[in-house]
């Protein structure tokens, strides 16, 4: 189901859903909870130690599960890292989606999305280390994370252009520019320091977008 300003999230990020290794997807609610615990523990382990220093045993200790439980859902450390990149990308999407749906127009939607993202990054600072490491550990996941994010932005900008809310020539370049701006604002105001309110940051950016994306004439 597509809303006026974005795609309704269908991910199972909250429970870990479909990110297990092929053929190892959980079939019960208990299994999904265990998978979710493993993913959360992997985020903490890799976020603190990095991929190379992080270990499967460290993940299972943090998750409070047996080593065998890890292999019930994942084939290897590489597999759980790859799944984690996808899961964190889905979590960002799902966290931002309600802000997009409640906005009256596209500029307001982008403003709300940025504020929501900064808030998310402040409680999930490890996302920056994990995504950055993915460039070298699993380049395909790294590229997919940014490509799908930019594609979502491009699609909602184009829908807004059709409604006459933004300029008619919006496309891929605009989407990547907005995404890049959001990524570095999150780094500065979530990871490096939290010395400005997310709403104030987003308001400043919305003013910039309103002038740069204004309809012709």
Cα separation, 60 vs 68, in Å, equals 9
Both ends of the chain: CA-CA distance in Å? 33
8-81 has which fold? Arc Repressor Mutant, subunit A (1.10.10)
102-217 has which fold? Tetracycline Repressor; domain 2 (1.10.357)
How many Cα atoms sit within 13 Å of 142 on the Cβ side?
12
Asked whether residue 200 carries a pLDDT value surpassing 70, the answer given is yes
Q: What is the pLDDT of residues 146-198, one digit of tens each?
A: 999 999 999 999 999 999 999 999 999 999 999 999 999 999 999 999 999 99
Q: Where are the domains of the chain?
A: 8-81, 102-217
pTM of the model: 0.87
């Amino acid at each position: 189901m597509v809303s006026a300003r974005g795609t309704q999230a269908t991910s199972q990020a909250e429970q870990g859903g479909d990110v297990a290794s092929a053929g190892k997807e959980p079939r019960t609610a208990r299994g999904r909870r265990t998978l979710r615990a493993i993913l959360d523990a992997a985020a903490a382990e890799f976020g603190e130690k990095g991929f190379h220093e992080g270990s499967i045993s460290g993940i299972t200790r943090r998750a409070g599960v047996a080593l065998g439980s890890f292999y019930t859902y994942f084939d290897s450390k590489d597999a759980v890292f790859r799944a984690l990149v996808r899961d964190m990308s889905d979590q960002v999407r799902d966290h931002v989606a309600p802000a997009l749906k409640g906005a009256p127009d596209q500029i307001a939607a982008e403003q709300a999305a940025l504020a929501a993202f900064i808030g998310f990054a402040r409680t999930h600072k490890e996302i920056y280390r994990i995504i950055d490491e993915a460039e070298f550990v699993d380049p395909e996941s790294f590229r997919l994370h940014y490509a799908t994010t930019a594609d979502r932005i491009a699609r909602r900008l184009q829908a807004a252009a059709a409604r006459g809310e933004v300029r008619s020539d919006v496309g891929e370049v605009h989407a990547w520019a907005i995404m890049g701006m959001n990524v570095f604002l999150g780094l500065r105001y979530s990871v490096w320091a939290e010395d400005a309110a997310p709403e104030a940051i987003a308001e400043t950016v919305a003013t910039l977008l309103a002038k740069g994306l204004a309809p012709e004439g």
